[in-house]
Amino acid sequence: MEKPPSPALMVIDPAAAESQPGGIGAGPDDDAAWNEALNKELQEGFTSNDRRDMQRMGKKQQFRRNFRLLSTIGFTTCVMGTWEILLTSNTQGLTAGGMPGLFWSLCWSYTGQFFIVLSLAEMASMAPTAGGQYHWVSEFAPRRHQKLLSYLSGMPCSFHNPFLAHPLTNVLPTSAGWLSAVSWQSIVALDAFLIGSIIQGLVSLNSAAYDPARWQGTLLVMASVLAISLFNVFGAKHLPLAEGIFVTVHVFAFFPVVVTLLVLAPKQPAAAVFTGFSDNGAGWPSVSLAVMVGQVSTMFVVLGSDSVAHMSEEIEDAGVIVPRAMVWSFLLNVPFTFGLLLTYLFSIGDVQAALSDKTGFPFMYVFREATGSVQGATGLTVVVLVLLIMVTISSLASTSRQTFAFARDNGLPFSKWLGAVHPTWHVPVNAVTFTCIFSMVLSLINIGSTVAFNAMLSLSTVALMATYVICLGCVALRRVHGEPLPHSRWSLGRWGLPINITALVYACWSFFWSFWPNSYHLTAENFNWACVLFVGLMGLSVVLYYVRARHIYQGPVVLIQKQRD
């Protein structure tokens, strides 16, 4: 066999991919071509259940199915990365609500998100595809609106059921596919930004004379996302093994961090942690309102369970393994997250000093105060940094698969290019390349304005929560009307409707609070620009739909119907 080219993020020709067995041009209803498409490398791990699911959805198998149950749980656990993400992303929660606000908001965020995870797990079992949310909307939406709602999903401004209003003039159009794509692309950029910022924080920690510059942070973001993208191309075959290593580090790195704080740090009284609500600079008229605004920190921490759904076409027996991994990884992270948070809150000392620390991260202040040395704080921070790199590797893998899937269904510009899979490596190289470039371009905004950059990143939580609202609304509406749902090997049974409705209520609640600014006294620096970007994104998706997509985008359900016919 000819040795494939190496040493670069190779951009492949979609036409070449079409000519390969199982390429993007292969038809879903040609059984002979289907069997011929699966070379020996793709047959391993491709069960009869996987074949039936892929045929029902009208998709060709183009990836290796080399993820098993443990590696899949490891993947989802790492993408969520809850305890390490909580350490790096708690500033807003501490500012608006203080220590009790952070703790209690994590309690209800975990509770509400669990219902979302259960609902998404069932949908992933019904349709185990890399498309995820936009595919589920296409299948579960009201029949005459399936195509439109998959690409442009109607959601009334009043946040009532998003699928009861039919005239487009009475709804606020959103795009399930576009929202999912933008949210995951933004999450990768956010993870890379955290990596760059923590590196700068480490330099500040070790050098009092260092004055961090935005352009330096941007270069660090670019370097990190490039390295992670290269790993996702050339190391993709070994990603399941890597995920096993990642989750092992995720679990065992928890203990030195927690034990160090428990043993060395002076402790806060329980009243300060559980009942001493405070506003530490947000300026809201009431502490209760401040807590509602600050809960965005914990909402972001518990997101990400749907990441594994976008890897479905690389998982053996995905119809069962994916939902199990979503639920078990979510539950696995609960004790680690609460254990870390309680240890962190009892050890934090002066909250105001932590928030104003020169490193920009309260957790670095806590590490330094607990260990009493810069070297000790540096060592613990490096552990968190390594874990965050692992989280970003997994996030980029999931993001590239979601982008590939939406492009495969002609949902994006340059779909033929973005929807191509490397014929030898079986990796969506072009989608990985696009994700890398997107994060780099986004990081350039930070040079001119941190406000603009943070606005783009704040869109990630809003957009992802919006996709949950759309999916949950569709499946709940089907159940209310008694309409049949696709067969699921992991089913919620008679509890499906109450779980879906509870999940929908929490998703709408989170979606609403995601738009609130961090501070009561608004400036360009603290305004939450996600509302502007969200409306802009919806407007762009509407324009693209009517200009281009309505002529070529049929939605996944059309392929499914062709399979049935």
d(CA 164, CA 487): 25
How high is the mean pLDDT of the chain?
83
Nearest CA to 392 out of 512, 547, 153, 229 is that of 229
- pLDDT > 90 fraction of the chain, expressed in percent and rounded: 55
Least confident of 4-8, 209-213, 435-439, 451-455: 4-8
Taking a C-beta distance cutoff of 8 angstroms, is the pair 329, 305 a contact? yes
Q: Which residues pair with 173 in a beta bridge?
A: 154
Nearest CA to 150 out of 136, 129, 161, 160 is that of 136
Least confident of 51-60, 287-296, 332-341: 51-60
Taking a C-beta distance cutoff of 8 angstroms, is the pair 510, 503 a contact? no
Mean pLDDT, range 443-460, rounded to an integer: 74
Quick one: 521 exposed, middle or buried, by C-beta within 10 A (0-12, 13-18, 19+)?
Answer: exposed
DSSP, res 214? H
pLDDT band (50, 70, 90) for residue 41: low
For residue 73, pLDDT over 60 is answered with yes
DSSP, res 11? P
d(CA 367, CA 377): 5
pLDDT band (50, 70, 90) for residue 522: confident
d(CA 344, CA 380): 13
Domain edges within the chain: 62-557
- Model pLDDT, residue 532: 84
3-state secondary structure of 279: strand
d(CA 282, CA 522): 10
Nearest CA to 309 out of 174, 126, 152 is that of 126
Q: Which residue has tokens 């443990």?
A: 70
Q: What is the pTM of this model?
A: 0.88
Distance from CA of residue 367 to its chain's centroid?
28
For residue 7, pLDDT over 90 is answered with no
For residue 155, pLDDT over 60 is answered with no
Nearest CA to 34 out of 58, 63, 67, 3 is that of 58
C-alpha dihedral, 389 to 398 to 324 to 462, nearest 10°? 90
Give Cβ neighbours of residue 95 (< 8 Å, ≥ 6 apart).
279, 280, 281, 282, 294, 355, 518
Mean pLDDT, range 233-243, rounded to an integer: 92
Mean pLDDT, range 268-288, rounded to an integer: 93
For residue 112, pLDDT over 80 is answered with yes
CATH superfamily of domain region 62-557: Amino acid/polyamine transporter I (1.20.1740.10)
- Model pLDDT, residue 552: 66
For residue 557, pLDDT over 60 is answered with no
pLDDT band (50, 70, 90) for residue 316: very high
Taking a C-beta distance cutoff of 8 angstroms, is the pair 35, 55 a contact? no
- Model pLDDT, residue 54: 87
Mean pLDDT, range 161-181, rounded to an integer: 47
3-state secondary structure of 360: coil
Its sign, for the CA torsion 553, 557, 560, 565, is negative
For residue 156, pLDDT over 90 is answered with no
Mean pLDDT, range 375-384, rounded to an integer: 96
The amino acid present at 336, given as its one-letter code, is F
- Model pLDDT, residue 135: 86
d(CA 169, CA 150): 18
Q: What are phi and psi of 172, to 5 degrees?
A: -100, 105
* Residue pLDDT, tens place only, 539-556: 877 777 777 766 666 566
Q: Which residue has tokens 């998003």?
A: 162
For residue 412, pLDDT over 60 is answered with yes
- Model pLDDT, residue 484: 87
Beta strands in 341-418 (DSSP E): none
3-state secondary structure of 274: helix
Mean pLDDT, range 526-551, rounded to an integer: 78
- Model pLDDT, residue 222: 96
- Model pLDDT, residue 147: 54
Could you tell me the two tokens for 220?
């660090």
Could you tell me the two tokens for 376?
């000790």
For residue 153, pLDDT over 70 is answered with no
E strand or H helix that includes residue 479:
helix 450-480
Mean pLDDT, range 165-180, rounded to an integer: 48
pLDDT band (50, 70, 90) for residue 13: very low
Mean pLDDT, range 70-84, rounded to an integer: 88
pLDDT band (50, 70, 90) for residue 16: very low
E strand or H helix that includes residue 155:
strand 153-155
pLDDT band (50, 70, 90) for residue 348: very high
Task: Choose between 472 and 8: higher pLDDT.
Answer: 472
Other Cβ atoms closer than 10 A to 25: 14
Least confident of 150-164, 255-269, 347-361: 150-164
d(CA 519, CA 290): 9
pLDDT band (50, 70, 90) for residue 116: very high
